[in-house]
Chain A
Amino acid sequence: MPKFAVIVFPGTNCDFETERAIRKAGGEAERIWYRESLKDFDGVILPGGFSYADYLRAGAIAARQEIMEEVKELSKEGKPVLGICNGFQILTESGLLPGALRPNRIPRFICKWVHLRVVDTETAFTSLYEPGEVIRMPIAHAEGNYYANDLSKVRITFQYSDGNGEIIEDANPNGSLLNIAGISNEKGNVLGMMPHPERASDRWLGGEDGLRVFSSMIEYAKR
């Protein structure tokens, strides 16, 4: 059974939920303190939270820790690397994904359920979704406003949409370019997303649309 590392930095706070969601999806998971090593894992998840209290810029300091060199190695080997919320910020800050996450258009913390359209099902994390499928997940962030100088190189995975899958400005919670909620690298084995799939992984949480992010990743790691 594929085994995933859930990396914990000082200030990470979604590690237990993420670990639990991976197990529910049928994988093994272990929480790893950022000073430990990443050997013998089939993939890595950078969970949500407030690493280093979001000082300087969200994700900036975590992105420069030594363990991220190991994450880069792992990604080069084609293993899945998933960054959720603060994890997405860490992935852009470390250069594993293009662009940057800026403070929300209205500078405050947003916590609510949103609709997403699954744009790209050819990634390690979305193969079990239907192309164009509309799903629901919660967001919870203050810096989720995606920006890139050159969008032609950005592989969009999820976009904020209305309940019918229309990509409209009203459905954009934070000012992200093109309503971007998640992107992947060119190979599709590194994905960053602002919404929290682990918080949408059980019916009693309000929905389980997020679970397939983890089960797709597990399927991918089995190959």
Chain B
Amino acid sequence: MRWEVRVTVRLKEGLNDPEGRVIESALRNLGYAVENLKVPKYFEFELESDNPEREVEEMCRRLLANPVIHTYEYRIEKVS
């Protein structure tokens, strides 16, 4: 079965996101009242698998996220 997968990896709450801070301050300099800007990482791919849940979970743990500093979430949909 073929699946469409979308994974978002975020820095854990409370961890400083330097890239986010710079973009936030650039936006503020342009006059927007932006706050708490974060820069998550986003992955999308297709996956051939009989057990996509398990495999995607494993991919997140083994490579896409670093459990010391990240949380992750994903959406898996069947390719129509």
Partners in one complex: yes
User: Which chain A residues have a beta carbon within 8 Å of chain B's beta carbons?
Assistant: 56-57, 60-61, 64, 92-93, 98-100, 102-107, 145, 147-149, 175
The answer to whether A102 touches B64, judged by C-beta atoms less than 8 angstroms apart, is no
B residues in contact with A105, CB < 8 Å: 16, 18
The answer to whether B18 touches A100, judged by C-beta atoms less than 8 angstroms apart, is no
- How far, in Å, is B10 (CB) from chain A's closest CB? 13
The answer to whether B16 touches A93, judged by C-beta atoms less than 8 angstroms apart, is no
The answer to whether A148 touches B66, judged by C-beta atoms less than 8 angstroms apart, is no
- Give which listed residue, A57, A64, A104, contacts B62 with CB less than 8 A: A64
Interface of A (DSSP majority class): loop
Closest to B22 in A: A107
A residues in contact with B21, CB < 8 Å: 107
Query: Which residues of chain B in 1-41 are interfacial with respect to chain A, using CB atoms and an 8 Å cutoff?
Result: 15-16, 18-19, 21-22, 41
B residues in contact with A147, CB < 8 Å: 15, 68-69
The answer to whether B18 touches A106, judged by C-beta atoms less than 8 angstroms apart, is yes
The answer to whether B19 touches A93, judged by C-beta atoms less than 8 angstroms apart, is no
The answer to whether A93 touches B62, judged by C-beta atoms less than 8 angstroms apart, is no
- How far, in Å, is B64 (CB) from chain A's closest CB? 7
The answer to whether B64 touches A100, judged by C-beta atoms less than 8 angstroms apart, is no
The answer to whether B19 touches A100, judged by C-beta atoms less than 8 angstroms apart, is no
14 further interface pairs, Cβ-Cβ under 8 Å (given A98-B68, A100-B69, A103-B18):
A56-B41, A57-B66, A60-B63, A60-B66, A64-B62, A100-B68, A102-B18, A104-B18, A106-B18, A107-B18, A107-B19, A107-B21, A147-B15, A149-B68
The answer to whether B19 touches A103, judged by C-beta atoms less than 8 angstroms apart, is yes
The answer to whether A148 touches B68, judged by C-beta atoms less than 8 angstroms apart, is yes
Closest to B41 in A: A56
A residues in contact with B18, CB < 8 Å: 102-107, 145, 175
A100 and B15 alpha carbons, distance in the complex (Å): 12
- How far, in Å, is B43 (CB) from chain A's closest CB? 9
Q: Identify the 4 closest CB pairs spanning chains A and B, nearest first.
A: A107-B18, A100-B68, A100-B69, A103-B18
Closest to A64 in B: B63
